[in-house]
Chains A and B, each alone.
Chain A
Amino acid sequence: METLVLAASWSGQLAAGLGVTLALAALSIVLGTAVGLGCALLAARPGVFGPRLVLMAAGLVRSLPELLVIFAAYYGFAFLLQAIVAPFGVTGFVAIDAFWAGVMALTLIHAAFCTEVFRGAFAALPPGPIEAARALGLRRVPVFWLVAWPLALRYALPGWMNLTIVSLKLTPLVAAVGLQDLLRTAGDAGRNTHDYLLFYLLALGIYLALAAAIGLIQMRLEARLTRVWAG
């Protein structure tokens, strides 16, 4: 009973923290998917230099610790901005918002992994339907949107859904640059009430529930897509 009252007294702050976590995850997943899809398409284009550069950049981001990317987005980007505005007489310390630095870093990471998922999906496409669409006289853009993309989506979906869970699980790292997200709020609550166990378990439960929800959506979507596939 006592613990319930304790947890309830922090419910407002925790809900706000959860909101920040969800906003951060949603924004970086949407933006990262768009960038990743763009990179996968760039990598599939003819040419040697461009595609290689894209793949190398994606590989680089995938190899670096996520925390380092977040620090680079927060401190490094502010430092660069400072260097850019210095010639115009602005000499103060430039700081960027922790939330947007987090969005930038997680978008980059999500995009780097998405590039690989979408590239694999496009590589796995059977050549038949695309050749058939070409033979019917469809142009490149309709071939992509009407034939290649819907097919590729089926191959990409499991990997993409896994990435959304990965990105959700990366959001607590942005607390390192001061973002008041769910985990940081749980930490504050733990410090104030001397009950870290309760609030970290609560946070863990919420993260697990979110991951389970994404997993359920994945199962539903996969069933739906394969039903169309079979029919």
Chain B
Amino acid sequence: MPSRLLEALPLLWQGTRVTAALFFWTALLAPAIALPVALARDSRSTASRRFGHGFILFFRGAPLLVVLFLLYYGLPQVNALRHSALWPLLREPFPVAVLALALNSAGFQAEIMAGALRAVPLAEVEAATAAGFSRWQIFRLIKLPNAARIGLRSYGNELVFILKGTAVVSFITIRDLMNAATEIYSRTFDPITPLVSAGLIYLAMVAAVAAVVRTMERKLDPLLRAAWRGRRSAAVMVAISRKLAPTVH
């Protein structure tokens, strides 16, 4: 068993790198799609609101694999697309996989962002308005930082779902970590070693994402940030205030 695992290591490493790359690009693209959708969902214009709602409903209800197959096998049938400038990108499995993962996640991320933006204390927005801030300034300086703090926990969960979701790309011939595991199985006829190894690598990646989100949480919260710099008593105070927070509102 150990020698088999040793032989399999380069393949697993290669797969891990592909999975990490997929995760990285998806985590970058998804919020870029989700933020405009979140803003549209709660905008003043009815048409925008309809679009935002529709987008969220559509991509939250559509299975990831169906979206992936539709983009990978279905899009090449659209002639207009085949002659467009985007075609060299959409012909390759990797960008299509990133697009499918990002669209799928954007439905959920938009809902998280919209919820977090709505949860920003109205008093702060009113104070900024009274102080003469423009709408863009209020959004950038008041709403966005507040919402980031409020939504970060759910957002972290969503990042884990993206990471787990990347495993489906092996369906469209991308040699990711999941694909490496099945490849090793088909060579050795031993499913346990590759599946357990891949499982452990996925777990380590999930733990890394969770650790990054926790660090972000600390950095984004001024109280927690102060507590982190020094006094333990302050950390206790923050912990208490956090516990009380939901009942205060």
Q: Which residues does A use to contact B, with CB under 8 Å?
A: 60, 63-68, 71-72, 75-76, 78-79, 165, 168-173, 175-176, 183, 187, 190, 195-197, 200-201, 203-204, 207-208, 211-212, 215
Residues of B156-200 whose CB lies within 8 A of A: 160, 163-168, 170-171, 178, 181-182, 185, 190-192, 195, 198-199
Q: Which residues of A contact B70 (CB under 8 A)?
A: 196-197, 200-201, 204
Closest to B66 in A: A204
Using A68-B202, A75-B195, A79-B191 as known contacts, say yes or no to A173 and B74 having CB atoms under 8 A apart. Answer: no
User: Given contacts A68-B181, A68-B198, A72-B195, are A212 and B167 in contact (CB under 8 A)?
Assistant: no
Alpha-carbon gap, A78 to B192, bound state (A)? 11
The answer to whether B61 and A63 touch across the interface, beta carbons within 8 angstroms, is: no
Chain A residues with Cβ under 8 A from B73's Cβ? 187, 190, 196-197, 200
* Contact, CB under 8 Å: A172 / B77: no
Q: Contact at A65–B191, with CB atoms within 8 Å?
A: no
Dominant secondary structure at the B interface: helix
> Once the chains are docked, how many angstroms separate the CA of A172 from the CA of B67?
11
A64 touches B74 (CB 8 A): no
What CA separation (Å) do A204 and B75 show in the bound complex?
Answer: 14
CB of B5 within 8 A of chain A? no
A-side contacts of B64, CB under 8 Å: 169
With a CB–CB cut-off of 8 A, which chain B residues contact A64? Answer: 164, 199, 202-203
Contact check, B61 vs A71: say whether CB atoms are below 8 A apart.
Answer: no
Please, which residues of chain B bring their CB within 8 A of the CB of A211? 60-62
Min distance, Cβ A69 to any Cβ of chain B, angstroms: 9
In the assembled complex, the Cα of A187 lies from the Cα of B171 at a distance in Å of 12
Whether B77 and A196, one on each chain, are in contact in the complex, defined by CB atoms closer than 8 angstroms, is: yes
A9 to chain B, nearest CB (A): 19
Residue B65 is within 8 A (CB to CB) of chain A in the complex: yes
What chain A residues lie within 8 Å of B190 (beta carbons)?
Answer: 79
**CB-CB under 8 A for A173 and B168, given A197-B74, A207-B62, A208-B58:** yes
Contact between A173 and B65, CB atoms less than 8 A apart: yes
* Interchain nearest-CB distance for A112 vs B (Å): 12
Cα–Cα, bound, A69→B65 (Å): 16
> Whole-angstrom distance between the alpha carbons of A172 and B78 in the complex?
24
Given A75-B185, A169-B63: A183 in contact with B69 (beta carbons within 8 A): yes
